[in-house]
Amino acid sequence: MSRMQKRSFGLGVVAISTALIGSPILDKDPLVWISIPQDAQIKSPVSLKTALTTHGLSLAQVPTSQILPLSHWMHETYHRCGGFFYESSLEEAREAIEHPVAKTSLSYAPQANVAISPLLAQVKEESIRTTIETLAQFQNRLYSSPHGVESQKWVMQKWQEIAAGRNDITVELVSHTGYIQPSVMLTIRGLGNPNDIVVLGGHGDSILSTSRDPEIRAPGADDNASGIATITEALKILVGNTIRFQKTIKLFSYAAEEVGLRGSQDIAKSFRKNNLNVKGVMQLDMTNYAGSPFDIVFMTDYVDTNLTTYLQALLKTHAPEIKWTTDTCGYACSDHASWTRYGYPSSMPFEARMNEDNPRIHTTRDTLDMSKGRAEHAVSFAKLALAYLMDLGGGEISLDQ
């Protein structure tokens, strides 16, 4: 959680070169633009070169070497993960803040789909747990570390293995400028309305916010191996039941979320630039720490109200045993905010209320031990993910086995 690039687009499917994977950052400590809440900018112990303050945000430059110390300070002082947007330039940042992209206005209603409930019954705690354990075994999944590259390649390979034999599914790496970690994108091509897109994602990076050492230990079991494991479980069940979709489904493991939502911003900006028609985005960032007396907490800021209400209705219809409530992040706390920035409807179901979430994230103690060695809490999120993809994506069991 965040307290040469080539693209071609067609039918909502993105093909992106991986030529930059492994490329070095040439400038040892380049200045980068960020937008940060003005209250934090004023008190920041990190030197920020502020160029503009508008709408309660300060647009400032910070040395790359100070990004992690700033993230750590934001976490310790404000309980915010990251707590800032990485910006491509002052001009783009100012435009995004002062002239936001018009939001897509959609209405949602659960459809009658008898295939959904049997799928929810197939969610397995053990399967989610195994994926969390595997991802947490990487030394770290830092955006600037070789381990961060290898962990994303593992996710790509895992998703490819699950999707083997499906000619309507592709899995690929998405490279980004300025750091070596790629994002991972899986596409299930829609049969009836392939230009309509339904997105489910979570971030693949982990962080120890006190160090930039590429060999630091940052297991990130909850933040956010849990989210990627939950998405992986949903994918496994969908493929195992030969589900085909009317709309195109895209699953993401985003890079570099912990340092300004960088991977998701790059992707959401590309979707908007190419006028891709995204019907909904759901973000899974931390799903396995049961800190509140609720199974799921829906964040209400930086999200689309209609989409959030729809997700709650899906639970009432297909999983009424799941207890949920609402809360606010108070800032752009995860990758859903990137999609919101570019006008797409997004949502953020979270593991707990903000003051009751996992206290060990961004430390060496973010392990499964914090969840008693189990993945029970994540099961509810996998069920929600399945209901969301099946209902909004128009999922049906294919007779073509």
Which entry of 87, 172, 222, 257 is annotated as an active-site residue?
257
Per the annotation, the verdict on 147 as an active-site residue is: no
Which entry of 318, 336, 362, 377 is annotated as an active-site residue?
362
Domains of the chain, start order: 106-397 (3.40.630.10)
Q: What is the pLDDT of residues 254-271, one digit of tens each?
A: 999 999 999 999 999 999
| Positive or negative torsion for Cα 313, 316, 322, 323 | positive
The angle formed by the CA atoms of residues 79, 82 and 87, to the nearest 5 degrees, is: 145
pLDDT (0 to 100) of residue 54: 86
pLDDT tops 70 at residue 80? yes
pLDDT (0 to 100) of residue 399: 66
Q: At what angle do helices 226-240 and 376-393 cross, to 10 degrees?
A: 50
pLDDT tops 50 at residue 133? yes
Averaged pLDDT for residues 94-118: 90
pLDDT (0 to 100) of residue 20: 31
Which entry of 87, 285, 357, 366 is annotated as an active-site residue?
285
Q: Which of 284, 296, 350 is nearest to 320 (CA)?
A: 296
The angle formed by the CA atoms of residues 241, 350 and 359, to the nearest 5 degrees, is: 125
Q: What percent of the chain has pLDDT over 70?
A: 93
Per the annotation, the verdict on 223 as an active-site residue is: yes
pLDDT tops 70 at residue 24? no
Which entry of 258, 304, 327, 357 is annotated as an active-site residue?
258
Q: What is the pLDDT of residues 185-205, one digit of tens each?
A: 999 999 999 999 999 999 999
Per the annotation, the verdict on 257 as an active-site residue is: yes
Structure tokens at 5: 């690039």
Per the annotation, the verdict on 99 as an active-site residue is: no
Which entry of 87, 223, 233, 327 is annotated as an active-site residue?
223
Per the annotation, the verdict on 366 as an active-site residue is: no
Per the annotation, the verdict on 258 as an active-site residue is: yes
pLDDT (0 to 100) of residue 27: 53
Task: Write down the pTM of the prediction.
Answer: 0.90
Q: What is the pLDDT of residues 211-240, one digit of tens each?
A: 878 999 999 999 999 999 999 999 999 999
Alpha-carbon distance 66 to 120, whole Å? 44
Structure tokens at 268: 């959401």
Q: What is the pLDDT of residues 269-318, one digit of tens each?
A: 999 999 999 999 999 999 999 999 999 999 999 999 999 999 999 999 99
